Chains A and B, each alone.
Chain A
Amino acid sequence: GNSVTQMEGPVTLSEEAFLTINCTYTATGYPSLFWYVQYPGEGLQLLLKATKADDKGSNKGFEATYRKETTSFHLEKGSVQVSDSAVYFCAHNSGAGSYQLTFGKGTKLSVIP
């Protein structure tokens, strides 16, 4: 079935450190892939997306590349800030005529000064 597996958290980094959050997926068809971010007390908001293989999504210094061969969509940022502290969710739509999103369990990131 459809699923998303992302690295367990929580992740604690110092400011300006490099961030990687791993995400792999199982899906039918050719899904689009997404990273959503949830700041404390708020709903989820789209961070970036990629709609086909080898596409790179990017936003606010975050990047992720759609790797079909490894069914992965790892999130990276070169230099994290305290304001990046949030929960990050990897997701896909199944791409088989069904457009609801399947989410990973989320990875909580804390960035300390």
Chain B
Amino acid sequence: DSGVTQTPKHLITATGQRVTLRCSPRSGDLSVYWYQQSLDQGLQFLIQYYNGEERAKGNILERFSAQQFPDLHSELNLSSLELGDSALYFCASSVDLQNGELFFGEGSRLTVL
């Protein structure tokens, strides 16, 4: 158990819909990262937050957004969903920015029909 909690574990929805994925980082970790894992693209970095502020942006679509709340949990919002958004979305956390050791949750599997 990494200590990172993601909900929901599975989500099935239709094209055009909007979903929210939730992540609670390990106790004490200030940095949260979101990754998308798909068969063809592998693990793609989406976005990183540190202590409530956005620190880095990767290949995140404009239809996607995220935030980190004062209690350090984070949410990833995916809107106007397309079939190609079907993937496993991982949240990871780390205690600081430099360590490089990320602790991953078990992921939220999104299926868009």
Contacts and interface: CB of A to CB of B under 8 A. Distances in A.
Interface of A: 32, 34, 41-46, 49, 51, 89, 93, 98-106
26 contacts: A32-B100, A41-B106, A42-B106, A43-B90, A43-B92, A43-B104, A43-B105, A43-B106, A44-B102, A45-B2, A46-B101, A49-B100, A51-B100, A93-B100, A99-B31, A99-B56, A99-B97, A99-B98, A100-B45, A100-B48, A101-B100, A103-B35, A103-B42, A103-B43, A103-B45, A106-B42
A102 B98 CA distance: 14
B56 A100 contact: yes
A60 to B, nearest CB: 16
A104 B42 contact: yes
Interface residues of B, number: 26
Contact of B101 (A49, A100, A102): A49
B58 A100 contact: yes
Interface string B1-37: 0101000000000000000000000000001010100
B97 A101 contact: no
Contacts of B92: 43-44
A46 to B, nearest CB: 5
Given A32-B100, A100-B45, A103-B43, 7 more contacts: A34-B100, A43-B90, A43-B92, A49-B101, A99-B94, A100-B48, A103-B42
Contact of B107 (A43, A49, A99): A43
Contact of A98 (B42, B56, B104): B56
Contacts of B107: 43
Contacts of A101: 33, 45, 100, 102
Going nearest first, the 5 A-B pairs with the smallest beta carbon separation are A43-B104, A105-B42, A103-B43, A44-B104, A99-B97
Contacts of B105: 43
